[in-house]
Structure 1
Amino acid sequence: MKKVNIYFNRWFSVAFHYMNLIRNNEDGVPVQIFATHPDINHMSLQGADVAGTEPALEGIEYVHFCVDFCRRNEIDIFIPRLHMLDIALHAALFDAIGTKLLVCRDLDLLETIMDKGKFYESVAGKGIMTIPDYHVVRTAEQFREAYQDLAAKGHRVCFKPTETEGGLGFRIIDNGRSPLKELFGHVTPLISFDEAYHILSTVPSFPDLMVMELLEGFEYSIDCLADENGKLLAAVPRRKAGGRLRLMEHIPELEDIALKVAETYRIPFNFNIQMKYSGDTPKLLEINPRMSGGLHISCLSGINFPYLAVKSALGGEVQPAEFAHDVLASHVEQPLIMKINGQSVIPDAVN
């Protein structure tokens, strides 16, 4: 059986686990995994068979780098993270060399999902789930008005850039905090309104910020798998359960939200819906049109999300999958030898 060549461009460290999940697939399909990153010692590369250094490029120049890499290495499947939108925009270049992309090709949808303000507007018009109270602002005065409106409704308030990943730029407004106490303690996301307003007032305008109610219930990441046409095949709600504990559990209302999102937006392959409860009501945080940072934990439910997406992209038949039981899981660090006497032990290097 011919090996399937799979390429990951600059990913998070957890791509190490995605690579091994694809490699150790239940069908015994042989794969060769390629990966690039600016840091040749990055942990994501340690799961690859062949690794390379990635140049600092943007836009079409970066796309051409990826196309050339795929051509030279006869890549069958490309799983992009960095510059995903640029890559999707030029999908035809990859089609021309026979490389399949694990990415949403609906450019309008992809642009909307990646801007939280635009996506909230889209969701509000469809009624498929509840969104938090929010405002999108770009000046200090708009920030003040948004804060005052949300506070008047009884909300604690937080804010975050509309275009960002993970927790970058996330802050919680807390007017009762003690800066001196914090100086001697852990770094926190807390900031007073006056401090935030003062900082934002130093410029006439700034990139869009979403000012919204702070949701204080359980937060769930719903890891989803769909086929190439966006038909939902699997959904696993996962939440933090204290410390390093993670609980995958059947929550019918969250599974129903996953189905409605899939039916409405038709996001292909792997995507992730982040919800957080306000009382008994789950409200949307964001959707990531890619594998989530905790997807390898959700795979302990018995569903190999990364491999099944690859299988679907290759034209294989993937049946709907459900996890039979709730699963409580955790993780420990795994030490890896990366070099001996300065010589890399894994993976092979390419230019």
Structure 2
Amino acid sequence: MAKKVRVWFNRWFSVAYLYMNHIRNNPDGVEFEFYGTHPDRNSMALQNCDYAEVEPVLEGLEYVEYCVDFCRRHQIDVFIPRLKMLDIARHIHLFDEVGTKVTVCRDIELLESMIDKDKFYELVRESDVMVVPEYRVVNTAEQFKAAYEELASLGHRVCFKPTNSEGGQGFRIINNDRDQVMDLFGTINPYVTFDRVYDILSGVDQFPNMMVMELLEGSEYSIDCLADPNGKLIAAVPRRKGNGRMRYLEDNQELIEIAHKVAEAYRIPFNYNIQMRYKNGVPKLLEINPRMSGGLHVSCLNGTNYPYLAVKLALGGHVEPLETKLGITASHIEQPMIMKDVIQAETVR
């Protein structure tokens, strides 16, 4: 009997549960075993694993050494990291030595810039690949005030976000017309007044770098991309975010062309996600996530198994460029499940 392919997900979002299902239910009949680690033993990502353990909280080289040891102990064939991708990429030779393929961008300078968004904006601004929003990088209250006033004077509504964050973490929109009492009693929202932010930031001499940007108020898209290990684009799916849970896989040729330009310019491998938002008919970059996006399972509804194909490519398989089915309206519902204790080992460090 052929050995099952062993795949490890480290500290992933709960949606990894679905990605494991996609990889298991592959059209080639390849059999897999899934390994998962997370500091939270009740993480949903672990519920779909054949082996799970509590992950230690480590930094830098110490964390990389834990990862290499995990791969060695369990003879991992493919490692799909989310946490500490940059540290892992910096020491990728250690994984090569134990025979584990890692679905991570090996271009350290590029990966570093994608994680620190202001660096990537500067890189993009020097090219004609995409348009970036007007932005300023600040780390003091006075810099924040100056950036806000400058962008507002140009006619922009203003928002801000830490340069190093995932998803909507730290994203706020400045709106000086808020009724703060009603906001307090209403639903949680991203709106905040300039005075409130300035007052908070004035309480410290310096804070972590933050991007103060023009607010993009048009349609938001996530372009889910699949590329081979050399960054050659195989598929790109523009996924528009609608109201609530509505999602639309659209035949947006403008965004598909941008995906081809990104692939040609930056050669990002495996699964990655380009987030863009329109303003006045122009799509502008929000960020690129060099990993599977949180909504990739929706894009899989077009009949293409993006998580499995990335694993196949990492193992040296060949995948031809794909003609993806578009024009699909999608949504999702929750599904209850009984939790089980899946931990086979506690933290080893």
TM over 0.5: yes
Q: Map of 1:190-229 to 2, 5 A cutoff? A: 190-229=191-230
Secondary structure class of the residue paired with 1:253: helix
SS of equivalent to 1:29: coil
Aligned residues: 345
Distance in 2 of aligned mates of 1:153 and 1:19: 47
Unmatched runs of 5 consecutive residues or more in structure 2? none
Paired with 2:328 and 2:5, the residues of 1 have a C-alpha distance of: 31
Q: Distance in 1 between matches of 2:28 and 2:327?
A: 25
Q: What letter corresponds to residue 269 of structure 2 in structure 1? A: P
Given residue 133 of structure 2, which amino acid in structure 1 is its aligned partner?
Answer: P
2:280, 2:62 → 1: CA distance? Answer: 48
Residues 4-153 of structure 1 aligned to structure 2 (within 5 Å): 4-153=5-154
TM-fit CA distance, 1:294: 0.5
**Does the Cα contact within 8 Å between 2:41 and 2:343 map onto a contact in 1?**
no
Regions of 4+ moved over 6 Å = none
TM-score, normalised via structure 2 length: 0.97
2:182 is aligned with what amino acid? K
Q: Is the 8 A contact 1:49 1:348 kept in 2?
A: no
Alignment of 1:160-179 (within 5 A): 160-179=161-180
Residue 2 of structure 1: how far off its partner (Å) = 2.4
In 1, Cα distance between equivalents of 2:106 and 2:196: 41
On the 8 A contact 1:235/1:322 being kept in 2, the answer is: no
SS in 2 for 1:44: helix
Is 1:251–2:259 an aligned residue pair? no
Quick one: distance in 2 between partners of 1:161 and 1:183?
A: 24
**How many Å apart are 1:321 and its aligned residue?**
1.1
| Among 337, 344, 347, the residue aligned to 1:349 | 344
Deviations 1:148-191 (A, max 9, x none): 11111111000000000011111100000011011111111111
- Give distance in 2, aligned partners of 1:256 and 1:276: 15
**Residues 231-242 of structure 1 aligned to structure 2 (within 5 Å):** 231-242=232-243
- Greater Cα shift, 94-103 or 235-244: 235-244
Tell whether the 8 Å contact from 1:229 to 1:268 is kept in structure 2 after alignment. yes
CA distance in 2, matches of 1:348, 1:125: 48
Structure 2 residue 271 is the aligned partner of structure 1 residue 270: yes
What residue number does 1:295 align with?
296
Contact 1:10 / 1:38 at 8 angstroms: preserved in 2? yes
TM-score by length of 1: 0.96
Q: Please, what is the CA RMSD of the aligned residues?
A: 1.0
CA drift of 1:348 comes to 6.2
**Identity of paired residues, percent?**
63
Which amino acid is 2:192 matched to? I
Q: CA deviation at 1:25?
A: 0.6
Offset at residue 38 of structure 1 (A) = 0.8
Amino acid at match of 1:349: Q
